[in-house]
Amino acid sequence: MRQEGTIAAIATPPGHGGVGIIRISGPDSHAILGRLFLPASPRFSGFRPWTLHRGRACDASGAPLDDVLAVAMPGPRTFTGEDVAEIHCHGGPAVLAAVLEAACACGAHLAGRGEFTRRAFLNGRMDLTQAEAVAEMIAAPARGGLRLAQARLQGLLGTRVAELRVRLLDLRAQVCVAVDFPEDEVDCLAPDAFVAECGAVAAGVRGLLAAHERGRCWQEGALVVLAGHVNAGKSSLMNALLGRRRAIVTDMPGTTRDFIEEPVQLAGLPVRLVDTAGLRDTGDIVEREGVRISRDLVAQADLVLLVVDAAAGLGHAERELLRQVRDQHAGAAHSTSSVPPGRSSQSGQSGQSPGEGGRVLVVLNKTDLAEFTEGGDTTEGTAAVQWPSEVEGCPCVAVSALRGQGVDELAAAARAMVLAGFGTAGAPDTTGAGGEPESGDLAPNLRQAQVLRRALDELDALVADVRAGVPYDLCSVRLDGACAVLSEITGETTPAEVLEHIFSSFCIGK
């Protein structure tokens, strides 16, 4: 991954804005800025580092382009570790394009995706976990994800991984002593001590993996699927949760034939809310395919909102869906290998059995058609109902999507169930912030978690070898492997193609 020349890019988002920034980085950045910038002050004698200067940006021929503020920042104490210059223009697409074109005419070349951050990484200004956190800060869907990305950007994850790696390196040094001085009277590394130290590092890795599972919903957004019989009110409920009309609502059964996905926040928790086709037997090929897709989405969901017509109750289709979810839940809970994130393993921790439908929240809809009284007493001319707190062992919330009644309670209950499923404790407080990540919480991203699992496999195999009496010089191979794998997280030994993939996902200008 070579870095050559001076690069330039628009560092602010596309579109119209009050201010737009052209960023230039590389050995010729200050010279290029000098050619582009015409100072407003007659007393200007040169750029003072880290100071904004007012003037005009001009093209290569000297024609003025815009009134600007310009700053020169000498390396290595810059974002990229190189000399950096910035031109702050008016934020219109035309003026930004003109200034960028002028910078390229003066010797810069257009930056690629993530090239500024890649240079920062290659120049030692940040490790790979911090570089990834730059993009994650920009893409964070909610405040919780922002806090997790901020902790990584501060280097806390890289520091923790480095601490685990140092412990393995210390263990490696002890192995070398044990191998080089086998006749020493003092046993410099007893097998029990070896296993205990490996176990301690493995416990640290497992803790980071558990944090990844807990933080996944904050970083990616939980998948919440609305399912139920046709005309149960799923589309109306989706519109109520979104606070706007997104799904088409009619009295005709089968109006929703495909799924509709929209992002929404439940008291700060990012959620991908999906409305699906109604469950029913049908001869319509298109509608039948929609029902199949609905069942597939239910299987993937972190939480299923099973919408039921309060007057009709559970029908055959809803009971069949509950059985489907319970079978999947039970199979995951008894699996000894790969446990789906935030599902069976977390439910087991909370004491909930797989048969209790821990991924389903029953939503009794259309409750405006019946009067509810606390004791279930009848009222003259009105059918009175006492809504159950559970249906078929699943928690239950009563709502009227049409009138917006109970929607806030539903959102709070769904949020709490999602967080519980991901193993995140804490019910919402008065601000709705319960269960959110705190400043400094560590949660590796998906790539980092995959690397941590490889390191854990090496450590588990190493412990098995030591207990089996494998000679220390052979055990050191796995010890070296675990160290090398951990170093991929922070970037010391990360393959070039992985780095290319990481930085190609960045936006241009960062």
Domains by residue range for the chain, with CATH: 7-127 (3.30.1360.120), 134-216+444-499 (1.20.120.430), 221-421 (3.40.50.300)
Cα separations in angstroms, 355 against 342, 352, 359: 16, 8, 10
506 — pLDDT class (breaks 50, 70, 90): confident
Model confidence, pTM? 0.75
Mean pLDDT over each residue of the chain, to the nearest integer: 81
Output phi, psi for 142, to 5 deg: -160, 175
**By three-state DSSP, how is residue 382 classified?**
strand
Q: Distance between CA 222 and CA 422 in Å, rounded?
A: 9
Residue predicted with more confidence, 167 or 472: 167
d(CA 264, CA 243): 10
| pLDDT, position 183 | 59
* Section 54-78 average pLDDT: 94
CB-CB contact of 307 with 314 (8 Å): no
Q: Using alpha carbons, list the distances in angstroms from residue 318 to 227, 230, 304, 478.
A: 9, 11, 12, 51
Instruction: Burial-class residue 177 by CB neighbours within 10 Å (0-12, 13-18, 19+).
Output: middle
* Distances 346 to 104, 230, 341, 466 between C-alpha atoms, Å: 54, 32, 8, 32
265-279, 323-337, 424-438: which is most confident: 265-279
Q: What is the CA radius of gyration of the chain?
A: 29
* Rounded-to-5 percentages of helix, strand, coil across the chain: 45, 20, 35
Model confidence at 485, pLDDT cuts 50, 70, 90, reads very high
Closest residue by Cα to residue 110 from 97, 93, 125: 97
- Ordered DSSP codes for 142-210: SHHHHHHHHHHHTTHHHHHHHHHHHHHHHHHHHHHHHHH-TT-SS-SS-HHHHHHHHHHHHHHHHHHHH
The residue count of the chain comes to 510
Q: Provide the pLDDT for residue 61.
A: 86
What letter would DSSP give residue 211? H
Among 191, 278, 190, which residue's Cα sits nearest to residue 234? 278
7 neighbors 110 (Cβ within 8 angstroms): yes
Residue 333: pLDDT over 80: no
User: pLDDT-derived band of residue 219, with 50, 70 and 90 as boundaries?
Assistant: confident
Percent of the chain with pLDDT over 70: 79
Residue-level pLDDT at 404: 83
Report the DSSP pairing between strands 360-365 and 394-398. parallel
Residue 137 CB: number of other CB atoms within 10 A?
Answer: 16
Among the ranges 116-120, 180-184, 221-225, 470-474, which has the highest mean pLDDT value? 116-120
At residue 428, what is the residue type?
P
Do 146 and 138 contact (CB within 8 A), yes or no? Answer: no
Q: What is the rounded distance in angstroms from the CA atom of residue 55 to the CA atom of residue 68?
A: 6
Selected residue with higher pLDDT from 243 and 62: 62
465's tokens = 């070898």
Q: What whole-number distance in Å separates Cα of residue 125 and Cα of residue 339?
A: 37
Strand 222-228 and strand 269-275: the pairing is parallel
Q: What are phi and psi of 130, to 5 degrees?
A: -70, -40
Across 174-302, the runs of DSSP E, i.e. the strands, are 222-228, 260-266, 269-275
Exposed, middle or buried: residue 265 (CB in 10 Å: 0-12, 13-18, 19+)? middle
Q: What is the pLDDT of residues 223-274, one digit of tens each?
A: 999 988 877 888 888 888 887 665 544 444 444 445 688 888 887 788 889 8
pLDDT band of 500, cuts 50, 70, 90 = confident
pLDDT above 90 coverage of the chain, percent: 37
